């Protein structure tokens, strides 16, 4: 065995298996073990629209530095079925490793019905070209020839030992433990101290001591096998002391936390992937505490002391009911929201128009997924920008705010409510499948600057009387009228989907119609003026760069990671991340993008929707487009390579990224 | 919620010009709602009237309470959103038969499952009036009202059956020209603890030339009755019908009885209360089991911001569960 230079604390690990076999919890355990060791982790989850049996996989990057995305390379592939090995073995780097079940060695590609015909053909061609047969053994042989370390893990034998040790009468009862065996073998291979695995198991199986013990015992056995079979493996993880706590969370949780912090009190939803996780998390935490921030006048108040706070989560019959029920709740003064994905958002359009004409503050969190129609329900896309911007008939002002990472998801949860109430219109908070299902360690965000702004609200004892009546849609110098809520004394109002007069009664008067249309539009102008640049956009990288990337949403992670690499290579690159997409931050585009020699629009959709919008709103044209629409999020690797190729003039106007299984 | 001062029915009227056709059955429903609000002494500021789309939906503009005229078919989800966020408000929903049974059908059945404490009044005239007389879901098969090119090719939904099947715990039917009886039904429906559904037979003098005031009143049957009109509608209470589920063991029998009664049509059309079951907890109560402070700290009225906008919702416990502690 030759001694190699080890690559320490920069690892890309993947585990896969049939849906329902516990891939998620094993990946969670692996990621948590790394996190407990002080490493930063980023996890990406891929799965079919299926309950049991189809292939799902999870990649985890662990690093001493910042990680915000996945890379194309896999350093360690952990498998316990044949399909995962067949599908992903070609992604393993030459000096990487694969953990597999030797009892499956004779399985043929064509024995795995869940591998699509196209991929079966591709795999067979790959194997034939290398002069081998089509079994897993053959596939492993090709990998070994490249230098990949093979780590056979005798899953059945290990399960038998565990069954014996813990007096389990049937192996089927502990069959799911193969996951944790794969995790144990992985961590043994890369040499991370076993204690972290135990800590992670304690997190994952919180309070279930016997489960923890059994899994720890199994993982330990597999750990030793990994360690002994690859004693000098080139990729290592080592503990990094960390003095500060970090959060390890998913985007769905970040979305829910932001909304709660922002005062969400009613959330409606209809089940849909990938949005439901947020609502389920909220419902699991429906009884809330209040915090007086140490200020005695708040701490001592009854409403804080008695902790009478809650969020009501309502599962509706469809998304039409979800949006309209949220509107009803908002009319009473509750901060109300719904969360959905594209197909559900389609059903919400009439509600959005209604909220717009009635100036109802309601928030819609839109978890985009691959469309059109049912599309690929569990796969990623940013294909709804144009749709969210225009959803509904007529001109109906709304605000669009797009988050690019977990911290932004938290902050934007609160800001969405603020803008909805301040400008009295629907706010569509744009997020997506990648954000929802990614998990990562982040520094606990400093939210101390955030304040709740309810806008122009009419308070009790407001002085309105029959002689001086309240008008919900008062026309004045301020396009934002004082807002009362249902149930308040002295402020009766009416709402209607028809055009209305100042009290809210139906009108078809042409003069009033003009005034109301102009009032509603003026609120958008006001929002454009008031919302600070720090919310509208972020700019990263070289000032006045030759090449400026523009994008929105979850591409932020891989773009920032790619940018680090490009800057290290002394490229003159910058990145303009647009966050407020309506009203559109035209000034930022003109300032940061217009003068660049190369203007690259990077988006996870077919038609480069933001690129088109920029041109529409500013006249600025993109010199290059980088798009992806295969349902798999962009990687650091492919973005780095795509931008590099553009800078060096090697590619045409449009680049289509295709990586991902 | 009850008022000290005495309000009369006309005190619940706005000055908005009413543009219903002369003789419209909607007038009777509007008037009886105002009478019922007065009888119950409801504070106008604590009442939300909610409607869908169509002639019936204009009702809320004529009533001096909070009024939310929503979208076609969406009266129930908006009304439920208001009630769920502030369970201490009185919420009354009104809508047409097309609104409730057609485009809003999914909401109709799911409202029954929730059993929220509110009243839903269905203006049942068999036609889509405001779009000029197309057949509505309550128009019988083979009936040809005057705007139809052909006799109705669809059969009718029975709103009483559907409401019972969906789980409404109070189901009644009124007739818009029997004002006092209808007012009593509305009062009972509002008082009912749970979801009350009231089907109101309501002639459309412009487009339904079959189920007219004269037809309901049985003027065509005067010959059988010695020259006096022989009304088709009759009152269940006058026929010794007892709709009340006195004990949970009676639920099945009373539901069967109501279903049987609801089949009557034609020469004998029952109005009154078909079913009244207060043994099913309403949704507010179900929520209170999970959120003990639901009625005292309604979602609508909770405070979540300090005097300077400090966010008061404490997410520290949730963050703690997501925290990886320092490793050294």
**What's the pLDDT score for residue A462?**
77
Does the pTM surpass 0.80? The reply is: yes
Rounded-to-integer distance, Cα B230 and Cα B243, Å: 25
Q: Are A435 and A619 in contact (CB under 8 A)?
A: no
Which residues are within 8 A (CB) of A161 and not within 5 positions of it... i.e. 6 or more apart? A221
The minimal CB distance from B85 to the residues A36, A332, A452 is found for A332
Are B293 and A308 a contacting pair at CB < 8 A?
A: yes
**What's the pLDDT score for residue B328?**
65
Q: Partners of A628 in the beta sheet?
A: A657
Are A494 and B291 a contacting pair at CB < 8 A?
A: no
Q: Are B118 and B95 in contact (CB under 8 A)?
A: no
Rounded-to-integer distance, Cα B321 and Cα A327, Å: 32
Domain-embedded: residue B304: no
Domain-embedded: residue B237: yes
Domain-embedded: residue B324: no
Are A317 and B78 a contacting pair at CB < 8 A?
A: no
Rounded-to-integer distance, Cα B136 and Cα B156, Å: 8
**What's the pLDDT score for residue A303?**
74
Per residue, the 3-state secondary structure of A380-439, as one string, reads CCCCCHHHHHHCCCCCCCCEEEECCCHHHHHHHHHHHHHHHHHCCCCEEEEEEHHHHHCE
Domain-embedded: residue B200: yes
Nearest chain B residue (CA) to A441: B324
List phi, psi (to 5°) of B6.
-90, 120
Which residue ranges does chain A devote to CATH 3.40.920.10? 7-236
Which residue pairs, CB below 8 angstroms and at least 24 apart, start in B106-109?
Answer: B106/A317, B106/A318, B106/A320, B106/A321, B107/A317, B107/A320, B107/A321, B107/B73, B107/B74, B107/B75, B107/B76, B107/B77, B108/B76, B108/B162, B108/B163, B108/B166, B109/A317, B109/B162, B109/B165, B109/B166
Are B77 and A309 a contacting pair at CB < 8 A?
A: no
**What's the pLDDT score for residue A348?**
98
Domain range for residue B224? Answer: 9-288
Interface probe with A: pick from B12, B76, B324, most Cβ of A within 10 Å: B324
Are B325 and A286 a contacting pair at CB < 8 A?
A: no
**What's the pLDDT score for residue A484?**
97
Are A310 and B16 a contacting pair at CB < 8 A?
A: no
**What's the pLDDT score for residue A4?**
60
Query: Which architecture, in CATH terms, is A248-442?
Result: 3-Layer(aba) Sandwich (3.40)
Q: How far is A291 from chain B (nearest CA, A)?
A: 5
Buried (b) or exposed (e) across B2-21, using 16+ Cβ within 10 A?
eeeeebebeebebebeeebe
Q: How many CB atoms lie within 10 A of CB B117?
A: 21
**What's the pLDDT score for residue A1?**
42
User: Read out DSSP for B170-221?
Assistant: EEEEEETT-HHHHHHHHHHHHHSSSEEEEEEE---TTT-SSS-HHHHHTGGG
Nearest chain A residue (CA) to B57: A496
Alpha helices in A37-151 (DSSP H): 82-88, 117-129, 136-146
Q: Which of A292, A250, A246 is nearest to A45 (CA)?
A: A250
Are B302 and A265 a contacting pair at CB < 8 A?
A: yes
Are B81 and A266 a contacting pair at CB < 8 A?
A: yes
Q: How far is B186 from chain A (nearest CA, A)?
A: 21
Q: Which of A616, A435, A351, A389 is nearest to A43 (CA)?
A: A435
Rounded-to-integer distance, Cα B98 and Cα B121, Å: 13
Nearest chain A residue (CA) to B112: A317
Tokens of A566: 């490009």
Cβ pairs bridging A and B (under 8 Å) = 272
Show residues of chain B in contact with A485, CB under 8 Å. 300
Domain-embedded: residue B302: no
Tokens of A324: 């309209």
Q: How many CB atoms lie within 10 A of CB A645?
A: 14
Show residues of chain A in contact with B69, CB under 8 Å. 494-498, 506
The number of angstroms, rounded, from the C-alpha of A127 to the middle of its chain's C-alpha atoms is 36
Is there a cis peptide before residue A642, judged by omega within 30 degrees of 0?
Answer: no
Domain-embedded: residue B321: no
For residue A286, count CB atoms less than 10 angstroms from its CB and return exposed for 0-12, middle for 13-18, buried for 19 or more.
middle
Are A290 and B301 a contacting pair at CB < 8 A?
A: no
Strands B134-135 and B127-128: antiparallel
Tens place of pLDDT per residue across chain B (328 aa): 567 778 999 999 999 999 999 999 999 999 999 999 999 999 999 999 999 999 999 999 999 999 999 999 999 999 999 999 999 999 999 999 999 999 999 999 999 999 999 999 999 999 999 999 999 999 999 999 999 999 999 999 999 999 999 999 999 999 999 999 999 999 999 999 999 999 999 999 999 999 999 999 999 999 999 999 999 999 999 999 999 999 999 999 999 999 999 999 999 999 999 999 999 999 999 999 999 999 999 999 999 999 999 999 999 999 999 999 997 6
CATH of the domain at B275: 3.40.50.970
Are B300 and A487 a contacting pair at CB < 8 A?
A: yes
Show residues of chain B in contact with A309, CB under 8 Å. 293, 297, 302, 304, 312-313
The minimal CB distance from B311 to the residues A245, A322, A452 is found for A452
ipTM (interface predicted TM): 0.98
Domain-embedded: residue B2: no
Nearest chain B residue (CA) to A287: B291
The minimal CB distance from A265 to the residues B44, B69, B299 is found for B299
Tokens of A342: 């594209």
**What's the pLDDT score for residue B4?**
72
Q: Are A172 and A187 in contact (CB under 8 A)?
A: no
Tokens of A4: 């190699």
Are A291 and B313 a contacting pair at CB < 8 A?
A: yes
Show residues of chain A in contact with B82, CB under 8 Å. 328-329, 331-332, 486
Parts of chain A with a pLDDT under 50:
1-2
Are B77 and A332 a contacting pair at CB < 8 A?
A: no
Q: Rg (Cα) of chain B, in Å, rounded? A: 22
For residue A529, count CB atoms less than 10 angstroms from its CB and return exposed for 0-12, middle for 13-18, buried for 19 or more.
exposed
Interface probe with A: pick from B49, B81, B321, most Cβ of A within 10 Å: B81
**What's the pLDDT score for residue A307?**
67
Q: How far is A354 from chain B (nearest CA, A)?
A: 8
When divided into structural domains, chain B yields a total of 1
Interface probe with B: pick from A250, A310, A486, most Cβ of B within 10 Å: A486
DSSP A479: S
**What's the pLDDT score for residue A2?**
46
**What's the pLDDT score for residue A293?**
81
Q: How far is A333 from chain B (nearest CA, A)?
A: 5
**What's the pLDDT score for residue B54?**
95
Domain A7-236 classified CATH 3.30.70.1230?
Answer: no
Are B314 and A289 a contacting pair at CB < 8 A?
A: yes
Q: How far is B124 from chain A (nearest CA, A)?
A: 22
Q: How many CB atoms lie within 10 A of CB A617?
A: 15
Residue B281 CB-half CA count within 13 A: 7
Buried (b) or exposed (e) across A15-32, using 16+ Cβ within 10 A?
bbbbbebbbbbbbbbbbb
Are A257 and B319 a contacting pair at CB < 8 A?
A: yes
Interface probe with B: pick from A238, A251, A300, A328, most Cβ of B within 10 Å: A328
The minimal CB distance from A312 to the residues B77, B299, B322 is found for B299
The minimal CB distance from B300 to the residues A240, A295, A485 is found for A485
Domain A533-657 classified CATH 3.40.50.920?
Answer: yes
Which residue ranges does chain A devote to CATH 3.40.50.970? 248-442
Q: In chain A, helix, strand, coil percent, each to 5?
A: 40, 20, 40
Buried (b) or exposed (e) across A239-248, using 16+ Cβ within 10 A?
beebeeebbb
Are A38 and B309 a contacting pair at CB < 8 A?
A: no
Q: Which of A359, A464, A508, A331 is nearest to B17 (CA)?
A: A508
Length of chain A equals: 661
The dihedral over CA atoms of A497, A498, A500, A503, expressed in degrees to the nearest 10, equals -50
Nearest chain B residue (CA) to A448: B310
Rounded-to-integer distance, Cα A57 and Cα A44, Å: 8
């Amino acid at each position: 065995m030759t001694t190699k230079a080890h690559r320490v604390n920069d690892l890309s690990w993947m585990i896969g298996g049939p849906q329902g076999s516990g891939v998620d919890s094993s990946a969670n355990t692996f990621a948590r073990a790394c996190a407990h060791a002080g490493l930063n982790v980023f996890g990406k989850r891929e799965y079919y629209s299926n309950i049991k049996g189809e292939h799902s996989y999870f990649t985890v990057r662990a690093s001493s530095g910042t990680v915000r995305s996945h890379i194309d390379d896999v350093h360690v592939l952990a498998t316990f079925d044949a399909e995962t090995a067949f599908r992903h073995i070609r992604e393993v780097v030459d000096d990487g490793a694969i953990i597999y079940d030797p009892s499956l060695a004779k399985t043929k590609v064509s024995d795995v019905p869940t591998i699509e015909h196209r991929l079966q053909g591709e795999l067979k061609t790959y194997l034939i070209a290398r002069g081998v047969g089509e079994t897993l053994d053959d596939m492993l042989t090709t990998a070994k020839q490249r230098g990949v370390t093979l780590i056979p893990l005798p899953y059945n034998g290990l399960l038998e030992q565990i069954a014996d040790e813990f007096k389990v009468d049937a192996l089927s009862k502990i069959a799911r433990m193969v996951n944790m065996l794969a995790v144990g073998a992985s961590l043994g291979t890369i040499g991370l101290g076993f204690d972290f695995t135990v800590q992670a198991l304690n997190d994952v199986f919180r309070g279930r001591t016997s489960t923890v013990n059994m899994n720890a015992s199994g993982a330990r056995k597999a750990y030793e096998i990994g360690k002994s079979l690859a004693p000098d493996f080139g990729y290592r993880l080592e503990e990094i002391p960390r003095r500060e706590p970090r959060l390890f969370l998913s985007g769905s949780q970040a979305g829910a936390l932001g909304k709660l912090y922002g005062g969400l009190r009613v959330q409606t939803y209809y089940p849909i992937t990938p949005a439901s996780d947020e609502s389920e998390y909220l419902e699991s935490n429906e009884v809330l505490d209040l915090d007086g921030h140490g200020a005695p006048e708040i701490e001592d108040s009854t409403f804080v002391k008695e902790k009478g706070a809650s969020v009501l989560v309502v599962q509706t019959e469809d998304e039409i009911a979800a949006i309209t029920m949220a509107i009803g709740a908002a009319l009473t003064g509750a901060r109300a929201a719904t969360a959905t994905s594209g197909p559900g958002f389609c059903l919400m359009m009439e509600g959005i128009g209604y909220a717009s004409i009635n100036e109802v503050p309601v928030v819609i969190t839109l978890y985009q997924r691959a469309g059109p129609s049912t599309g690929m329900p569990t796969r990623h896309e940013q294909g709804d920008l144009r749709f969210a911007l225009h959803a509904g008939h007529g001109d109906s002002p709304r605000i669009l705010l797009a988050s690019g990472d977990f911290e932004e998801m938290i902050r934007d949860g609160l800001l969405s409510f603020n803008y909805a109430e301040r400008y009295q219109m629907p706010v569509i908070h744009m997020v997506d499948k990648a954000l929802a299902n990614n998990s990562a360690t982040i520094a606990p965000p400093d939210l101390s600057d955030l304040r709740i702004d309810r806008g122009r609200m009419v308070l009790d004892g407001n002085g309105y009387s029959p002689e001086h009546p309240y008008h919900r849609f008062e026309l004045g110098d301020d396009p934002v009228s004082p807002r009362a809520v249902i149930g308040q004394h002295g402020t009766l109002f009416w709402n209607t989907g028809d055009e209305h007069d100042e009290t809210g009664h139906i009108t078809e008067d042409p003069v009033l119609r003009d005034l109301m249309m102009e009032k509603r539009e003026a609120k958008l102008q006001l929002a454009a003026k008031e919302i600070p640049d720090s919310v509208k956009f972020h700019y990263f990288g070289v000032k006045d760069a030759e090449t400026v990337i523009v994008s929105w949403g979850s591409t932020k992670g891989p773009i920032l990671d790619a940018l680090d690499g490009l800057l290290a290579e002394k490229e003159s690159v910058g990145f303009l991340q647009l966050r407020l997409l309506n009203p559109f931050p035209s000034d930022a585009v003109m300032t940061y993008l217009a003068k660049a020699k190369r203007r690259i629009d990077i988006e996870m959709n077919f038609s480069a929707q933001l690129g088109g919008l920029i041109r529409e709103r500013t006249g600025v044209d993109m010199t290059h487009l980088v798009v992806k629409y295969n349902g798999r999020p962009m990687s650091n690797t492919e973005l780095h390579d795509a931008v590099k190729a553009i800078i060096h003039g090697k590619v045409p106007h449009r680049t289509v990224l295709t990586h991902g299984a | 919620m009850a008022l000290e001062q005495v309000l009369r029915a006309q005190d619940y009227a706005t000055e908005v010009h009413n543009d219903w056709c002369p003789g419209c059955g909607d007038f009777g429903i509007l008037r009886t709602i105002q009478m019922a609000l007065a009888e119950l002494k409801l504070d106008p500021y604590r009442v939300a009237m909610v409607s869908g789309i169509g002639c019936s939906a204009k009702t809320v503009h004529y009533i001096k309470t909070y009024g939310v005229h929503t979208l076609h078919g969406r009266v129930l989800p908006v009304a439920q959103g208001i009630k769920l966020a502030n369970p201490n408000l009185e919420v009354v929903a009104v809508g047409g038969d097309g609104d409730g049974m057609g485009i809003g059908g999914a909401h109709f059945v799911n409202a029954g499952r929730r059993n929220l404490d509110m009243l839903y009044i269905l203006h049942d005239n068999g036609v889509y009036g405001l779009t000029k007389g197309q057949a509505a879901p309550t128009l019988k098969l083979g009936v040809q009202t005057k705007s139809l090119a052909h006799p109705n090719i669809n059969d009718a939904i029975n709103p009483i059956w559907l409401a019972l099947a969906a789980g409404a715990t109070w189901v009644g039917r009124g007739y818009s020209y029997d004002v006092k009886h209808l007012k009593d039904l509305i009062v009972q429906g509002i008082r009912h603890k749970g979801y009350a559904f009231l089907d109101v037979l309501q002639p459309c003098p412009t487009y339904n030339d079959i189920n007219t005031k004269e037809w309901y009143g049985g003027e065509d049957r005067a010959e059988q009755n010695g020259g006096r009109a022989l009304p088709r509608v009759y009152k269940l209470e006058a026929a010794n019908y007892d709709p009340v589920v006195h004990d949970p063991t009676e639920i099945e029998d009373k539901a069967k009885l109501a279903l049987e009664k609801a089949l009557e049509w034609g020469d004998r059309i029952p109005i009154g209360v078909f079913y009244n079951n207060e043994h099913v907890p309403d949704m507010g109560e179900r929520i209170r089991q999970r959120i003990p402070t639901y009625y005292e700290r309604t979602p609508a009225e909770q405070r979540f911001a300090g005097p300077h906008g400090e966010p008061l919702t404490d997410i520290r416990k949730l963050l703690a569960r997501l925290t990886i502690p320092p490793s050294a």
